[in-house]
Amino acid sequence: MKAKNGAKQTVIVFVLAVLTAMSFSGSVNAQTKSFEFKYASPYPQREINNHAPALWADALEKRTGGRVKVTPYYSETLGKGPEMLHMLKTGICDVAMLNYPMFPGVFQVTDILSLPFFVPNRYIGEELIYSLYYRGLLEKEYSGLKLLWYHVNTPANFMLRNKKVTKMEDLKGLKIRVFPGTPIKTLKALGATPITIPTTEVYTALERGTVDGLITMPDWFLAAKLHEVTKYYLWVPIAGGMHMLMMSQEKWNSLPPEIQTIMEELNGKAKYQFLEEADRRDSEMPTQVKATKVDSYSLSGSEVSRWQKATQGVVDEWASEMEAKGLPGREAVKVAKQVLERFK
């Protein structure tokens, strides 16, 4: 009888030892498991939107002792820009730089940045998105996504092929290339004819006269050498824009807490690394534009007021459309106006 009991105890001890070893092994594996993040970007490696992600990737690998490695895929080599949200959700990529106008009907309240004259400069845009995000007004459209960080771009301005625009009437009949969405309505309100064509076709379209101009950010104007096919650069903050470094919420939830903690710290740092680089480039921008021999100029204060008045209907229509979809359009506009008032 004693022998049987002894054998039984031995089996129990053995089983417990195995289970303990398995548990310990699983714990060790969880703490030492490596991760490779595929980072997808629609832009070339040296374009400003990839500046902070590159620093972030290096720091993440070092801080995790090599457990996390980020492999970049620049210039749409993993997939086209408009496909990147789907790529995130299906695991084709793990992190992506999203330019929200590429996803019509998705980031609808975020699109408040595109409203005319709501983003006079980058920092007002940053404050606006911060105010909307932490009031929960963006919660619905960011569902299923983990926002690592965002950065607001320098406002878009007018680049014109061969006609100098100094008053609203000068825009009548001009074919101006824009992103889809709100800027189309803005240009129509100002009397221009909006044209939407792929980014890769803009240079040729300007060169051939298929379009008379475009609205875009100054850094891309220089990077794409559009100064070779335009004569005038009109500094007027007609619309804002934003890029977001995103991960799917499912992917984020699968990461160990210690990795998440390191990432959150580096996310905040990366945002300011972008702003520092953006400020440096912005300070050089007027000189660089001037060096291109393009005639750069601004509108008079009274003319800007005319443009703002002419486009007020775009703001009102946007707010009403958001409300009809069950989105906080009027509240978002109210917050935006409060932010603008604080920065006067």
Residue 203, phi then psi, degrees to nearest 5: -60, -50
Q: How distant is the alpha carbon of residue 108 from its chain centre?
A: 13
The pLDDT tens digits of the residues spanning 197-221 come to 888 899 999 999 999 999 988 878 8
pLDDT grade for 31, boundaries at 50, 70 and 90: low
- Measure the CA–CA gap between 266 and 276, rounded to whole angstroms: 15
Question: Contact 118/335 with Cβ under 8 angstroms?
Answer: no
Q: Note the helical H segments in 165-256.
A: 182-190, 202-208, 218-223, 249-253
- Measure the CA–CA gap between 211 and 329, rounded to whole angstroms: 33
CA distances from 62 to 57, 68, 70, 252 (A): 9, 8, 11, 19
- Measure the CA–CA gap between 35 and 44, rounded to whole angstroms: 24
Q: 217: closest CA among 178, 252, 262?
A: 178
The pLDDT tens digits of the residues spanning 82-125 come to 999 999 999 999 999 999 988 989 999 999 999 999 999 999 99
Q: Where are the domains of the chain?
A: 34-106+122-152+242-283, 156-240+293-342
CATH 3.20.20.70 fits 156-240+293-342, yes or no: no
Among 23-27, 160-164, 245-249, name the one with the lowest average pLDDT.
Answer: 23-27
Q: 108: closest CA among 152, 130, 140?
A: 140
Question: Contact 161/211 with Cβ under 8 angstroms?
Answer: yes
The pLDDT tens digits of the residues spanning 56-69 come to 999 999 999 999 99
pLDDT grade for 247, boundaries at 50, 70 and 90: very high
DSSP secondary structure string for all residues of 290-312? HHTT-EEEE--HHHHHHHHHHTH
According to the model, what pLDDT value does residue 90 have? 96
**Beta partners for residue 210, in sequence order:** none
Percentage of the chain surpassing pLDDT 70?
91
pTM for the whole thing? 0.83
3-state secondary structure of 80: coil
CATH superfamily of the domain spanning 34-106+122-152+242-283 = Bacterial extracellular solute-binding protein, family 7 (3.40.190.170)
According to the model, what pLDDT value does residue 43 have? 87
The pLDDT tens digits of the residues spanning 186-195 come to 999 999 999 9
Per-residue burial over 183-199, b = 16 or more CB atoms within 10 Å of its CB, e = otherwise: bbbbbebbebebbeeee
**Shared fold status for 34-106+122-152+242-283 and 156-240+293-342:** yes
Please report, as a single letter, which amino acid is at residue 37: F
Question: Contact 86/300 with Cβ under 8 angstroms?
Answer: no
The pLDDT tens digits of the residues spanning 268-322 come to 999 999 999 988 888 887 888 888 889 999 999 999 999 999 999 999 999 999 9
Residue 230: DSSP 8-state: -
Among 215-229, 248-262, 325-339, name the one with the lowest average pLDDT.
Answer: 215-229
Q: Is the pLDDT of residue 29 over 80?
A: no
Q: In sequence order, what E strands does the chain have?
A: 35-40, 68-73, 95-99, 145-152, 156-160, 175-177, 193-195, 213-216, 232-239, 242-248, 295-298
Q: Would you mind telling me the total number of residues written for the chain in this entry?
A: 344
The pLDDT tens digits of the residues spanning 133-166 come to 999 999 999 999 999 999 998 899 999 999 999 9
According to the model, what pLDDT value does residue 101 have? 85
The pLDDT tens digits of the residues spanning 160-171 come to 999 999 999 999
The pLDDT tens digits of the residues spanning 318-334 come to 999 999 999 999 999 99
Name the more confident of 8 and 219: 219
Q: 57: closest CA among 270, 274, 271, 275?
A: 270
According to the model, what pLDDT value does residue 184 have? 94
